[in-house]
Structure 1
Amino acid sequence: MKQNCKLLQETFVLLLCSMALITHVGCVDKNRNLVPTAPSKNPNYWCTWYWQNYLIKKGQKVEKVDPKNIYTNQAARDQLTEETVFGPNGMAVVMLPKTRSDFYFLIDHGWQDKNIKENTFFTSILDKKDFPRYTNLSAKDRIKQMNEDIEQLGWRGLGLWFRGNKTEQEMRQMIEWSKYAGIRYWKIDGGDITHYYATKIKDVIYPELIIEHITGTGPLNSKWDTPNLNY
């Protein structure tokens, strides 16, 4: 009998606590904003790549996915222009209007000068044809001005995409340019995994630069057993 009474007492106490908790939750200000006001320190970014692919057919319904003839890398590269970034409906203008201050605006495959035939996609030279507003600026001033333009729109800053390999001397110059331009995020989408020059150099001369190496793969992780890949 005593045990039953004790059990009933404990159950009654738990019930009272639960009711008090429910009452407290119900009194919480529903207008309270739970989103932190302090900027995030994590290297969050919004990437242009999928929007570039969307623009290939200008938003038309995808009747047939054809990666060899329609949705090619080159076709997507061609969609990264001043108009698609800074125009009235440009990516940097319309995306993440309320939260972009926490995100780097990462320009992906297609921003570099396509007239450079060797190692085209591991340079810091912005294509003047695609971004004519920067035509009269030096190469390092182009990315500096673009970074400032992106920040003026409320983004955390400009992020740069790269692919390929550079010599140690070439990599040092690129990091020096990023330091000059205030670039604080790089995405290396394949390359520089033999010596990791980029990370070694930036650790010495520009530790504020965040560099992430990635190796893209399909949804089934088909390269899981390939050594020395970075995900």
Structure 2
Amino acid sequence: MRAPLTLSGRCYWGRRTGEAGQFVYSAVLDAAGGKCAGNTPLTFVGNSYYERRFDKKASSASPSLPPLHAGDVVLKSSLAVPAHLRSRRTVDVTGIQTSYFDASERNRRALCAVGSVIQSMHLYDGHEVPELRRGNVALGKVVALCAYATSGASASSPAVPSLVLLENVARALTKRRSLLYYSEADGVQLVRVIAEGCRAAAEQEIHIQPVMRDGCVVAVRLDC
């Protein structure tokens, strides 16, 4: 029977270098004190100019992950809004149904007529659509992955950890309901909170439970 696994406390952050660029990875916390690696603010980690300025060294970001051990966590930040729209105010219009009829004739399930939405966006500068009671659109999402040996080890073939989804990060390690972020600063802060939560979970020796489907490990969950 496999021994219970806990988080290692090591956390790596991956984000794209451009609109469609490759992911670059860097350690979020240092190995000893749990602080951000080096003297570079987390916002600038991976930027060679600022890392040279703060740490007097080359960039720590790498296009490939270091060798992972079971219990390591990898955070990937993905942007949901195209680059040319990030400087503009955006609203979530999910649920709006186009209609050429009057409001009394449109589908009852439609939340708002298109004309009303256009007028609202004009009056409120696109910041919010009051009729829909929607807030700002999420800029992106952080996906948490955990290194976990999905197959058994043998004397001739030791188990190699694979990255699987860490499901209950938002509930277990943060006070958020989701891992969505609404600005670049919010995304950086979310990564920091998750990394610190991983370190705390490792110190508390919180176990990781596999999520099985058809006899295969498809994800893991923190047992807390």
- Larger RCO (alpha carbons 8 Å, 6+ apart): 2
TM-score relative to the length of structure 2: 0.25
Larger radius of gyration: 1
Q: Quick check: which one's helix share is greater?
A: 1
TM-score relative to the length of structure 1: 0.24
